[in-house]
Structure 1
Amino acid sequence: MIKLEEKKKIVKWLQDNFINSEAVFVVDYRGLKVAELMQLRKNLRECSAIFKVVKNTLARWGAEKAELREIIPFFVGPTGIIFVLREPVDSAKKLREFVDEHPNLKIKGGILAGDVLTPERVFSLADLPGRDILISQILSQFQSPLIQFMGALISPLQNFMLVLNSITEKKKGGISMATSSKQEVKEKQEVKEKKEDKKELIIKAIQEMNILELSELVKELEERFGVKAAAPQVAVASAAPAAEKPKEEEKTEFDVILAEIGSKKIQVIKEVRKLTSLGLKEAKDLVESAPKPIKQGVSKEEAQKVKEVLEAVGAKVEIK
């Protein structure tokens, strides 16, 4: 039984990750083995995503505190949450690749920038290019000859309507040329300001769009104007002189490997359950299939602590 203080810590961690994530995917991991779950966690970590198995009551509590109530209906049955800390396309690709190889993993849904995602929309993210490429495609459409031609038509038409309106006003009220000129300058200034406002609105709207919305915008522009978004050209840079090899970064993540069980198998299973929150059968399978990783991607301090706990009951443990 998890103590109340421990529950509060978990809920606070969930709340923070709900808030800080670019996207959140929810999965049902029923039928997957421990080693497969560890592989999924490792795959997702490569693209800055965190996989966490949680109790539904705590997940609901964390989502409530993060004001993400739209995701709460997914918290039924066995629940694993994927917190995507960067662009969601890479994580969606990793997830789809894993599902292709392990069909027992089921996607319940997700959320992206406040929009609820069905399993189909989660997978559709995997087919998208990156955000930068989508914006480049939008810009290429703005620069197409058709759009330029339309701009050339619209701009003179607006000026013509402005002049026509000025002439009409003069006929109606007998306004002097000086007054008319001032009015015309004022109206031109207003038109200019409106154009600037429109530009800012367009730029701000694009900045605030999530990757699915950008993809939908590209398609709508293609359909509306009958143009095809061009893929951005990749510049080939000339070979640069060999730079000095950077110093190898200090390792910050470690894997704890159960190398040998030892003579106290039952005690080892009990400790593994405490360390991993696994069920009895899963912990037993893990221990009996040694050598196997118990923890992956943990800090040096946590890895050392796990090693000491298991060695205290006679197991042989390695840290890599």
Structure 2
Amino acid sequence: MSIEAQKEKQLIIDEIKGKLEKAQSAVVVDYIGITVAEADSMRKKLRDANVDYTVYKNTLVKRAIEGTKYEGLAEVLEGPSALAFGYEDAVAPARLLNGIIKDYKKMAFKAGVVEGTLFNADGIQAVASLPSREELIAKFMGSIQSPVSKAVRTFQAIADAKAE
């Protein structure tokens, strides 16, 4: 192998390591069977959600994840594999890819690491059904707002009754 080829591979390994350091999650999928048009559409959906989807050689990914919290992914890096990195919402890659897998009826989860926890394909499927951070905050705010609103209406009714 030439020195140029080695340097090129090291650049790719460093790129993967950089993405993993910033990522809250990484999901590995088998992308076999999708067309170029489907891949482009999928990449746009993922990009819009700040999810980075890239296909790398398995051997380079294995070298990049050595000694990291993503090391457990090495056992599923066989055959066609693509990585989706989530930077803002740890659940976003799994949730978005799950929708895409259902729409295209192609591809499959292999495994993933979400906030340092390794999940097999079934585990990532379960993670994909979790609501987003924004949905959880909205539900929480709604649940605490309801009793407060009720109390305000009650106090207003008491004030109105005393004013009469």
Normalised by the length of structure 2, the TM-score is 0.76
Higher relative contact order (CA 8 A, sep 6+): 2
Q: Secondary structure at the match of 2:45?
A: helix
Structure 2 gaps of 5+ residues are: 147-164
Please show how residues 232-311 of structure 1 align to structure 2 within 5 Å.
Answer: 232-233=144-145
Q: Secondary structure at the match of 1:18?
A: helix
TM-aligned CA deviation for residue 118 of structure 1: 2.1
* Correspondence 1:95 to 2:64: no
Q: In structure 2, do the counterparts of structure 1 residues 51 and 232 end up closer, same or farther at CA, with 3 Å as the change threshold?
A: farther
After superposition, the C-alpha distances for 1:70-125 in whole angstroms (9 at most, x for unaligned) are 11112111110001111133333321111011122111010112211122222323
Amino acid at match of 1:126: A
Q: Secondary structure at the match of 1:98?
A: helix
After superposition, the C-alpha distances for 1:236-285 in whole angstroms (9 at most, x for unaligned) are xxxxxxxxxxxxxxxxxxxxxxxxxxxxxxxxxxxxxxxxxxxxxxxxxx
* Correspondence 1:6 to 2:8: yes
After superposition, the C-alpha distances for 1:215-253 in whole angstroms (9 at most, x for unaligned) are xxxxxxxxxxxxxxx74548xxxxxxxxxxxxxxxxxxx
Please show how residues 31-46 of structure 1 align to structure 2 within 5 Å.
Answer: 31-46=33-48
- The answer on whether the counterparts of 1:22 and 1:84 sit within 8 Å (CA) in structure 2 is yes
In the alignment, which residue of structure 2 is the partner of 1:64? 66
Q: Structure 2 CA distance, aligned partners of 1:232 and 1:78?
A: 46
- The answer on whether the counterparts of 2:30 and 2:82 sit within 8 Å (CA) in structure 1 is yes
Instruction: List 4+ stretches of structure 1 deviating above 6 A.
Output: none
Q: Structure 1 CA distance, aligned partners of 2:114 and 2:143?
A: 25
Q: In structure 2, do the counterparts of structure 1 residues 231 and 20 end up closer, same or farther at CA, with 3 Å as the change threshold?
A: same
Q: In structure 2, do the counterparts of structure 1 residues 117 and 232 end up closer, same or farther at CA, with 3 Å as the change threshold?
A: farther
Q: Structure 2 CA distance, aligned partners of 1:232 and 1:64?
A: 44
- The answer on whether the counterparts of 1:74 and 1:108 sit within 8 Å (CA) in structure 2 is yes
Q: Structure 1 CA distance, aligned partners of 2:129 and 2:143?
A: 15
- The answer on whether the counterparts of 1:133 and 1:232 sit within 8 Å (CA) in structure 2 is no
Instruction: State the structure with more CA Rg.
Output: 1
In the alignment, which residue of structure 1 is the partner of 2:49? 47
Aligned mate of 2:111, from 88, 109, 112: 109
Amino acid at match of 1:75: L
Taking only aligned residues, the RMSD between alpha carbons, in angstroms, comes to 3.0
